[in-house]
Structure 1
Amino acid sequence: MEQVIGAQAGRHAKNIQELNRVSAWIREQMRLFGVPCQYQNYTANSLPYRNVVCSLNAGKKQKVIVGAHYDVLEDTTGADDNASGVAGVIEVARILATEKTSLKHNVDFVFYTLAEPPYFGTENMGSFIHAKSVAKQKQNIAGVYILEMIGYFDENEVQQYPAGLKWIYPAHGNFIAAVGNLMSRDLTYDYCAAMRKLNQLQCERLIAPSFMQDLDFSDHSNYWKFDFPAITITDTAMYRNKYYHTRQDTLDRLDTEKMGQVVNGVVKMLLN
């Protein structure tokens, strides 16, 4: 994760050089696992940006996408948001590359740029660019799993929720959440079922209409726009991590053991 964060902690939309350094590093890590990658280049406000799209072909008819954004909000460090997710996707790829014959589907690992403001919610988000291209190519997508902040946990009763949910879900901040819309409910079930089998970390499902407050706070929502089932796997971001979008979002605040457990759940879900 140190390589993702970098010495300057400046992988934001204005610092294209740093974004390119991080994306090149990601591509090289995946190459070391035998997972080929290509850049998906595009422009936003006449400036060049790129996603990294890496493919693990198991000879199956359907594909799943496992993704995470690698950019940050300007003037933040971005350890949990979202170096944790990037590290998680890379680790999933490393493990699955050794288990290719046991995969249920082909897997694309996608690392997105421009998920953060000022581009969040626009068609310049890297995930929108990718989702649109997948739809145009009519790819057979079984599901999309976005790792969005997977490293911050707290056993104390610090957990917050959108209005009306705090009476239903745990008060402690020591679980991982699978968040999706009604179309994506089976994906939330599959992930939490895998987590239950591992019996390492509590998993909570949140399924609600797409218009619910903050349900669309990550890259998964761009796939909904093209009718792909997609969920985010998350520590719930600003509803738990008080350092969200600050310079205090640093590596020392992350629980790498639980991050590994989150990854184990993704791996178990994707293998036969």
Structure 2
Amino acid sequence: MLTAHVPDLAAALERHVKVLADDIGERNVFRPDALHAAADYIVQQWTRSGRAVTHQDYQVRGVPCANIEVALEGCVRSDEIIVLGAHYDTVRNSPGADDNASGVAALLEIAGMLQSLSPRYTVRCVAFVNEEAPFFFRGDMGSLRYARAARLRGDRIRLMLSLEMLGYYRDEPGTQRYPPLLRYFYPACGNFIGFVSNLRSARQLRWFVDAFQASSDFPLEAAALPWWVPGVALSDHSSFWLHGYPAAMVTDTAYLRNPHYHTAHDVPATLDYGRMAAVTRGLAASVASLGPGGANPGKTRAPEKRRL
């Protein structure tokens, strides 16, 4: 049972976002001290709660980089894995409150909440480095390195969820945009959380959406779409598609809603922490409640042939 009250959770999420976006600010390989400060903060938050933290270390342009992970062993099928991921780097010249301090904040809190929920499957919470340009879809992208290593180990990943911008919501009509044609099928107000996958992950997407709807009354919209539809592949979940794993993105829809996307105005004051807390709580409860379903992890598909 979840014990975190939404107001308390909202305050915790806001604290994380302010540290990452206000105190640290722009964080990437081009500002290595800030990138390392963000990594240190993530490690500090997880170790403070007594969790064992592991790193996948590598160097980019002479700068040490790391994916940071905590794992919670499943109580029924510990050899089958749910990966929750959020990137902690930013684009240049942006403090990255929504993109993606919001996702990291949720990841930090979900890891704590899951400790008391005894999930069926092993859950890995991973903070990824180097999601943003110029590393996106390139070999030094943190999630690409992680997914490649998982495939080489033979990890049985049932589903990967990328937490990509969770904090921006608007109730006014016309505040939500879409790729061509989709606007005829989805709401005009940007007050929902989106769940998006490629077509090959549609079954697993439905599996998780059903769990979320059973755990939360927060409004959501879901779509399994071709990977080439604009925006569908734009986060760390695409690294897992490339290596044959089912994956989906959880998002406030980024540039299709948030006018501050990839700008200096992506600051903590623009986010709605109450709604962000409701989404975070729903995600934790959903992961913990996942029952049998989705694809057989012993029959994961061959890696995608397309080049990222």
Q: Identify the TM-score tier after normalising by the shorter chain.
A: over 0.9
Q: Tell me the SS of whatever aligns to 2:94.
A: coil
User: Does the 8 A contact of 1:52 with 1:111 survive in 2?
Assistant: yes
Q: For residue 190 of structure 1, what is the aligned residue in structure 2?
A: 207
Q: Structure 2 CA distance, aligned partners of 1:230 and 1:104?
A: 18
**What pairs with 1:60-79 in structure 2 (closer than 5 Å)?**
60-79=78-97
Q: For residue 157 of structure 2, what is the aligned residue in structure 1?
A: 141
Q: Pick from 222, 234, 242: which aligns with 2:259?
A: 242
1:123 is the counterpart of 2:139? yes
Q: For residue 280 of structure 2, what is the aligned residue in structure 1?
A: 263
1:38 is the counterpart of 2:54? yes
Q: TM-score, normalised by structure 1?
A: 0.95
Q: Structure 1 CA distance, aligned partners of 2:180 and 2:240?
A: 25
Q: Tell me the SS of whatever aligns to 1:39.
A: strand
Q: Tell me the SS of whatever aligns to 2:183.
A: coil
C-alpha deviations, 1:69-118, integer Å up to 9, x for none? 0000010010000000000011110100122xx31101111001111111
Q: Structure 1 CA distance, aligned partners of 2:212 and 2:153?
A: 33
Q: For residue 222 of structure 1, what is the aligned residue in structure 2?
A: 239
State the identity as a percent.
31
Q: Structure 2 CA distance, aligned partners of 1:259 and 1:187?
A: 23
User: Does the 8 A contact of 1:34 with 1:97 survive in 2?
Assistant: no
Q: Which blocks of at least 5 consecutive residues in structure 2 are unaligned?
A: 1-16, 290-308
1:109 is the counterpart of 2:128? no
Q: How many pairs are equivalent?
A: 270
How far has the Cα of 1:251 moved from its partner?
A: 0.7
The structure-2 alpha-carbon separation of the partners of 1:222 and 1:174, relative to structure 1 and needing over 3 Å to count, comes to: same
Please identify, of 109-118 and 262-271, the stretch whose mean Cα deviation from structure 2 is larger.
262-271
Q: Structure 1 CA distance, aligned partners of 2:159 and 2:52?
A: 21
Q: For residue 222 of structure 2, what is the aligned residue in structure 1?
A: 205
Which amino acid is 1:35 matched to? Answer: R
Q: Structure 2 CA distance, aligned partners of 1:172 and 1:188?
A: 23
Q: Tell me the SS of whatever aligns to 1:166.
A: helix
C-alpha deviations, 1:185-215, integer Å up to 9, x for none? 1332233323323453211111112222221
User: Does the 8 A contact of 1:191 with 1:266 survive in 2?
Assistant: no
Please identify, of 5-14 and 49-58, the stretch whose mean Cα deviation from structure 2 is larger.
5-14
Q: Structure 2 CA distance, aligned partners of 1:199 and 1:58?
A: 22
User: Does the 8 A contact of 2:24 with 2:37 survive in 1?
Assistant: no
Q: Tell me the SS of whatever aligns to 2:38.
A: helix
Q: Which blocks of at least 5 consecutive residues in structure 1 are unaligned?
A: none
Please identify, of 52-61 and 213-222, the stretch whose mean Cα deviation from structure 2 is larger.
52-61
Q: Tell me the SS of whatever aligns to 1:67.
A: strand
Please identify, of 186-195 and 78-87, the stretch whose mean Cα deviation from structure 2 is larger.
186-195
Which amino acid is 1:58 matched to? Answer: G
Q: Structure 1 CA distance, aligned partners of 2:81 and 2:24?
A: 36
1:81 is the counterpart of 2:117? no
Q: Pick from 147, 161, 176: which aligns with 1:159?
A: 176
Please identify, of 47-56 and 192-201, the stretch whose mean Cα deviation from structure 2 is larger.
192-201
Q: TM-score, normalised by structure 2?
A: 0.84
Q: Structure 1 CA distance, aligned partners of 2:215 and 2:66?
A: 36
The structure-2 alpha-carbon separation of the partners of 1:253 and 1:6, relative to structure 1 and needing over 3 Å to count, comes to: closer
How far has the Cα of 1:123 moved from its partner?
A: 1.5
User: Does the 8 A contact of 1:54 with 1:108 survive in 2?
Assistant: yes
The structure-2 alpha-carbon separation of the partners of 1:130 and 1:19, relative to structure 1 and needing over 3 Å to count, comes to: same
User: Does the 8 A contact of 1:56 with 1:97 survive in 2?
Assistant: yes
User: Does the 8 A contact of 1:65 with 1:110 survive in 2?
Assistant: yes
